Copies of this chain bind each other. A is one copy, B any other.
Amino acid sequence: MRYQLYYWSGIQGRGEFVRLALEDAGADYVDIAREQGDDAIMPFLAGDQAGALPFAPPFLKVGRTVITQTAAILLYLAPRLKLVPAGAVAGLYAHQLQLTVTDLVAEVHDTHHPIASSLYYKDQRAAALQRAEDFRQHRLPKYLGYFEDVLVRSDGLRALSAHSYVDLSLFQIMSGLDYAFPQAMRRLRRKLPHLHALAAQVAERPRIAAYLASPRRLAFNEDGIFRHYPELDAAR
């Protein structure tokens, strides 16, 4: 069964969490919009296709089944790709962690779009400066401190002791944040040894290293979720 991933072709975005899982597992998949263009996504959003109605990409087509929402796609894929420890409790804990990644990603997006996704960044820059400052000072340390604690705690280690898709997602979070907020991330670095070690380990996994070096890995850019606007990373 070949997995069909539908996500915007020009950004890593939320689709990248799914791409990383498929790549790490060496799964047979096609990144539809990279091959056919973003127009291939539209009939699904318009409700012209059978299956679950997606609110937004990414969604995954598996045979006739359409699965939407990043965390739900990973929940579905994880046991099939052997990217989660066996057992209901560990699987549920991994999913909860992924949902917290989801929350963080939404807050990262809102650092540059605090007013409206329908407006340009330059048209909401004043609010973005304020929101990004709160993010750097409060939300970023809170989220990353949380994930660091999860890695440190024995319960966390038990749930994640086997390699899991959550490791891949935390790698992606660290990569994106290093791109978008390099100064803020440097200031936090000493407090997050486990997160940095995990991100380094993931980057060295053979299939991930090959993926990151390939043209399939898009560069971070200012159309995606993790954007580098230096003024949003300014030291106080």
Binding site for B on A (CB under 8 A): 47, 50-53, 55, 65, 67-69, 71-72, 75-76, 89, 92-93, 95-96, 99-100, 102-103, 106, 110, 114-116, 118-119, 124, 127, 130-131, 134, 138, 143, 146, 149-150, 153, 155-156, 159
Q: Given contacts A53-B156, A72-B92, A114-B131, list 16 more A-B pairs with CB under 8 A.
A: A47-B149, A52-B159, A53-B155, A55-B146, A67-B92, A69-B95, A69-B96, A69-B100, A103-B106, A114-B127, A115-B127, A115-B134, A116-B131, A116-B134, A118-B134, A118-B138
Complex Cα spacing A120 to B93, Å = 33
Decide if the interface of chain A is mainly helix, strand, loop or mixed.
helix
Of B51, B55, B115, B134, the residue contacting A155 (CB under 8 A) is B51
Q: Are A153 and B47 in contact (CB under 8 A)?
A: yes
Q: Which residues of B contact A143 (CB under 8 A)?
A: 55
Q: Are A149 and B116 in contact (CB under 8 A)?
A: no
Complex Cα spacing A130 to B72, Å = 32
Complex Cα spacing A116 to B127, Å = 10
